[in-house]
Amino acid sequence: MEVKLHDIGEGMTEAHISHYFVKPGDRVQADTPLVEVQTDKMTAEIPAPITGTVREIIIKEGNTVNVGTTLLVMEEGSHISKPNKNTNKRTILASPFTRKLAREKGIVLEDILGSGPGGRILESDITGSEVSHSSTSKMTLNSEKTMEEQSTKQKNENVFLPFNGRRKQIAGKMVSSLRTIPHCTHYEEIDVTELLILRDNLKQQGISISATAFFLKALSLTLVQHPLFNSRLHEDRQEIECFSSHHIGIATDTEEGLIAPVLHAVESKNLAELHRDVKELTIKAQENRLTPHDLRGGTFTISNVGPLGGSIGATPIINPPEVGLMAFHKTKKRPMVNDHDEIVIRSMMNISMSYDHRVIDGGKAVAFTNQFRDLIENPSLMLVELR
């Protein structure tokens, strides 16, 4: 049986082969992880479709291949042509991120007792194992690393970084977006003083709501009034499909690169649910534990770069086939002139919103951001729309 690279995420066309968990001659049970692959959105494992023996690995680690490519060949049945020392070892339950972390630290997963459900090995199990190593070993490794770094500096050589895996996938998608979509970016400044006061008041009552949760609620309410921003262009059918639900991607910075997991049905969630779900989704993204469902069906994307220090503006690249992306920048206290010509100190935040000019005109973009701004500057208005 040929084990092929199948579509593990919406819109996936290719993947980078990161690591094989098996070698020719290994006997594996059905659903045992065979290979780890990486796309522009996620790291995932491809399991064995049958119980049998690995006969041949076709594609080597480090290559990028298209969906449908045969990765390895298996033979069904119990016969093993070559001894396998791992035959009697227990099944290892661990996420792709945890497996990768163990490989990077030289830790054998079979030697770790997982603390998660069903014996699943967690990230904390790996870091705890690392801490248990002797201080002498650490000193030796640190010493060798220091000598290596000094040697590299002395040589003054250029450093070459690999351009593959998720980085290459992201690059291809961004180039395609810019080539296909006529981008236009609208900028606005928003007074978030009242929203921050409301958030602090809730916190004093033991209710923690992030600013992102408020942004999502205001955005969803705005999308109800401006459904064109929650749409997809079908040029081949000469139609614009406006979606009834708001499935909003949350751009997340991870060690593997930028990724935008999707928070589904935002319009149906209250502020507490949005706060909880955003937090859980962000952690899953950073730990490479996202599922295909977490990456499918996005209709709009947001990027909160404020915590990273983005203070003025940007020109966000749209995540196709969506038609809009809104970025929130750093909140700063600034002197402002109020309606009574008085100078007051207010907390101000800039936003950048890129939109597909094939679908949306400038006037509609202004109306959209104006309504979003009004909801943020007067958060009590959101209460009128809450269900």
Which residues are known to be catalytic? 357, 361
Task: Quote the CA–CA distance of 71 and 58 in Å, as a whole number.
Answer: 5
Q: What does residue 334 show for φ and ψ, rounded to 5 degrees?
A: -140, 150
Residue 254 structure tokens: 């991870």
Cβ distance 211 to 200 under 8 Å? no
Strand-pair partners of 188: 351
Contact, 26 vs 58, CB < 8 A? no
d(CA 284, CA 295): 11
Provide the strand spans (E) within the chain. Answer: 2-4, 14-20, 27-28, 33-38, 43-47, 52-57, 64-66, 70-76, 183-191, 231-234, 239-242, 248-250, 252-254, 257-259, 262-263, 300-304, 324-337, 343-356
Strands 14-20, 64-66: pairing is antiparallel
The answer to whether residues 20 and 35 touch, using CB atoms and an 8 Å cutoff, is yes
Contact (CB, 8 A) for 6 and 67: yes
